[in-house]
Amino acid sequence: MNKERMGRILQEMKNTGVPQMIVSDPVNIFYLTGKWIFPGERMLVLLLKTDGSAKLFVNELFPIHEDLGTENITLNDNQDAVGVLAPYIDKNDVIGVDKNWPARFLIRLMDLTGVTKFVDISNITDKVRQRKDKTEIDLMRESSRVNDIAVDKMIELVPKKYTEKKMGEILLETYRSMGAEEFSFDPIVAYGANGADPHHTTDATSQLKEGDSVVIDIGCKKDSYCSDLTRTVFYKRASEEQKKVYNIVRDANLKGIDKVKPGVRFCDIDAAARDYIESKGYGKYFTHRLGHSIGLEDHEVGDVSSVNENKVDEGMIFSIEPGVYLPGNFGVRVEDLVVVTKDGCEVLNKYSKDLCIVE
C-alpha cells in the first residue's frame, strides 16, 4: 500500500463519515497497491475501514505473489464471492461503494445483509486521485512528452494522405517505440467535415482533400498514466474563415490556460474560453465542456464545465480543449493538459499552437 495515498483516503473517509468502503475499481486498487489486477467478470474488492485495515478479496486465478500490504482473502469460481465478503461488512454502518461496482454484486450484498444504506464513495477516491502527487506529475509529464513527439509525427505524415485508420496504426507503433503501453483512448484523426463531429470515430475510408482541416486528437498510456492532446492543421491551404476560426479557438485555449490557478472554479475556467468564443460569434458551435480531468484514466472526475463550481487545487491535471465545429464544413480543436501549480499552471504539452498549413 502506498502509505501517503492510503493516509489521504482514510482522512477523507473520516471527513465524510464513511467508516467502511468497498473499493472495486482496478484503477483505484492500482493507485493504492501498485498492482494491476483485471478480474474480468469476477469480483475484486479492496475493503477499507477507518481503523486502517485493508482486505483484498481476489480470485485465485489472479495470484498475488508480492506483499501488497493487504490481508488477502482468496476466492474461487465455486464460491459465492459476495457471500465471502458479506461477513466482513459491518451491517449497522453506512457502506461506501465504488461508483462502478456492478449491480449484480450490490444487489446481492443487499439481499445477503438487508442493508440499504449505501453511498457512492467515488467522491472519496476521485477527490484524492484528483490531486496528483509528485510521482504522478512526473509520469504525466513524461506521457505528454511522448505525446508531443507523436503529434509531430502525425502532422508530418498528413501529406501522405493515409487513411485515418492507417494513421492510427502508425501512431500506435510510434507510441510503443517510445515505451508507451497503449492508446489512452481511440485516436481521432479527422479530415475535413469529419472534424466537425467532435466524437467522430476514425474510419478506414476517408481521404484527405486540399483545404481540409485535420483534427488530430491523440494520447497514450505510459507507465499507466495518460496523455491527451489535440492539434488542428490544414492541408495545403486554409480559407479566411478557417484561419479566423483557428485563431479564435487557439486564443480561447490560451485564455482558459491563463485562468488556471488554485482557488479558481472549474466553471470560471470554462467561461474564460467560452465567453471569448461567444464574443466572436461562434458560441453555438462550441458544443462541449472545455475539458476533463485526467491521470490513470483519460477521463477522471473533475469536468472543466459550466456546471462544475468546485475550485481547482494544486496538483490537479486537466485538459483545456475548446473547439468550434461547423457541420458539414470543418472543425477546429486545440487541446493541452495543464497541471495546477502553486500560483498558476504548467502546460504539459509543449507542441506549437501556431496556425500550421501542411504542404
Residues 141-170, interacting with its own copies (CB under 8 A): none
Residues near its own copies (CB under 8 A), total: 32
Shortest gap between Cβ of 107 and its own copies (angstroms)? 5
- The pattern of x and - marking residues 29 through 68 that bind its own copies according to CB under 8 A reads -----------xx-------------------xx------
Residues with Cβ < 8 Å from 63, sequence gap 6 or more?
A: none
- Residue 305 near residue 295 (C-beta atoms within 8 A): no
Shortest gap between Cβ of 95 and its own copies (angstroms)? 10
Shortest gap between Cβ of 306 and its own copies (angstroms)? 7
Decide whether 36 or 156 has the Cβ nearer to its own copies: 36
Decide whether 265 or 288 has the Cβ nearer to its own copies: 288
Interface with its own copies (CB under 8 A), residue from 34, 258, 288, 315: 288
d(C-alpha 337, C-alpha 299), whole Å? 12
**DSSP one-letter code for 227:** -
d(C-alpha 359, C-alpha 188), whole Å? 21
Q: Which stretch binds its own copies (CB under 8 A): 150-158, 252-260, 298-306, 338-346?
A: 298-306
Interface with its own copies (CB under 8 A), residue from 35, 55, 99, 243: 99
Q: Which three cell numbers stand for residue 339?
A: 497541471
**According to the binding rule CB under 8 A, does residue 181 interact with its own copies?**
no
Give kind and range of the element (H or E) at residue 279.
helix 266-279
Burial of 134 (0-12, 13-18, 19+ CB in 10 A): exposed
Shortest gap between Cβ of 5 and its own copies (angstroms)? 22
Q: Which residues pair with 340 in a beta bridge?
A: 345
Map grid coordinates 475548446 to a residue. 322
Please report the sign of the dihedral spanned by the C-alpha atoms of residue 27, residue 32, residue 37, residue 43. negative
Shortest gap between Cβ of 125 and its own copies (angstroms)? 12
**According to the binding rule CB under 8 A, does residue 307 interact with its own copies?**
yes
Interface with its own copies (CB under 8 A), residue from 8, 58, 70, 101: 101
Shortest gap between Cβ of 287 and its own copies (angstroms)? 8
Please report the sign of the dihedral spanned by the C-alpha atoms of residue 96, residue 102, residue 99, residue 59. positive
**According to the binding rule CB under 8 A, does residue 94 interact with its own copies?**
no
**According to the binding rule CB under 8 A, does residue 178 interact with its own copies?**
no
**According to the binding rule CB under 8 A, does residue 305 interact with its own copies?**
yes
Residues with Cβ < 8 Å from 331, sequence gap 6 or more?
A: 190, 194, 195, 196, 197, 198, 213, 215, 232, 323, 324, 325
Provide DSSP, 281-323: T-GGG--S-SEEE-SSSSSEEEEESTT--PBP-TTBEEEE--E
d(C-alpha 275, C-alpha 268), whole Å? 10
**According to the binding rule CB under 8 A, does residue 222 interact with its own copies?**
no
Decide whether 38 or 210 has the Cβ nearer to its own copies: 38
**According to the binding rule CB under 8 A, does residue 299 interact with its own copies?**
yes
Which stretches of the chain bind its own copies, using CB under 8 A? 40-41, 61-62, 77-78, 97-104, 106-108, 110, 116, 118-120, 122, 198-199, 288-289, 299, 303, 305-307
